[in-house]
Copies of this chain bind each other. A is one copy, B any other.
């Protein structure tokens, strides 16, 4: 049975597991104070070209979003996000559980525009009653987005300008960042992100690790006592080495980008074939997620041979599905899927 359900179906990249094995019996200090965490941070600082960056390793994406957003906001502030943003839809209210409102604005292909964000801030401060409202305190974006789309460098620059105009940190959720960075459509580097955002995370879980997300505050701007905030959110791993070793490996010899390319290459092969066969795409995604509109009858047949992800109903007879490739997808899997389709 083929499986294109998501990009976290396998364990870790073999080099990562290998390093965990090699370092396993070393006695290391806890809570991220070990040498592998330190080495990983240094390599990430270099990759981001921000030697002053504060870096922390957390375990998962929802946890990371909740912790960072809670740390960046004042109690009277909320976080502006596309209405399709992960924090707005699929995190079980984790942001609200730490008492902050998600201020959702309509998305465009999963993205927010600088114009819409600027309008939101302007409308807020123009409202005579704004002291009775939740202050927009920061902006959340995901890159790639939940629809696999990407911000251009110009779009990020514009967002950054608006955010700084309103003194609101710009935070980028990079759960699938690797897949964005190596997409052919992408014109944004890690250094650009570090320069334009006030905080972001480099996702490991979906790009080759067993778990782990690296939070970067690029300008030596981590919130005060952030380690305690991490602990309070239940996000401080005792054996921080598990994260340190993984990210140290991921940022050695460009492994992060190298394995990311596999996801894009296999996705592109698949997309080409599907285009040729005349399939309809729900959205044109340049990364590792492919959104397809299928007749329900056709879907039923497909599901006998391949597991895919249900997205939503398109109409009474059609369904939108998602096919995800990853660092682990094999060419033969793609071939097999193309044959079926």
Contacts and interface: CB of A to CB of B under 8 A. Distances in A.
Given A225-B76, A234-B66, A238-B211, A92 B132 contact: yes
A9 B24 contact: no
A241 B96 contact: no
Interface string A169-199: 0000000000000000000000000000000
Interface in A71-122: 71, 74-76, 78, 89-94, 96-102, 104
Contacts of A63: 234-235
Nearest to A16: B24
Contacts of A224: 74
A26 interface: yes
Given A59-B59, A131-B225, A211-B239, A232 B94 contact: yes
Residue of A96, A104, A206, A237 with most partner-chain B CB within 10 A? A96
B30 A10 contact: no
A227 interface: yes
B76 A93 contact: yes
A300 interface: no
Given A132-B92, A133-B92, A237-B211, A76 B229 contact: yes
A268 interface: no
Contact of A78 (B14, B96, B134): B96
Given A8-B239, A210-B242, A234 B62 contact: yes
Contact of A231 (B62, B101, B128): B62
A29 B127 CA distance: 17
A233 B29 contact: no
B11 A225 contact: no
Interface residues of A, number: 79
Contacts of A231: 62, 91-92, 94, 131-132
Contacts of A23: 11
A132 B12 CA distance: 24
Contacts of A132: 90-92, 228, 231, 236
A338 interface: no
A6 B20 CA distance: 20
Contacts of A76: 92-93, 225, 228-229, 232
Interface string A121-160: 0000001110111110000000000000000000000000
Contacts of A6: 30
A8 B92 CA distance: 31
A25 B11 contact: yes
B229 A75 contact: yes
A229 B92 CA distance: 8
Contacts of A64: 234
A234 B233 contact: yes
Interface string A234-263: 111111011000000000000000000000
A27 B14 contact: no
Given A104-B104, A205-B238, A210-B239, 15 more contacts: A8-B239, A10-B25, A11-B20, A14-B24, A21-B21, A60-B237, A71-B75, A78-B93, A89-B133, A90-B133, A91-B231, A92-B232, A127-B312, A131-B231, A135-B228
Q: Which 9 A-B pairs have the closest CB atoms?
A: A63-B234, A11-B24, A92-B231, A92-B232, A93-B134, A9-B27, A76-B228, A96-B101, A3-B27
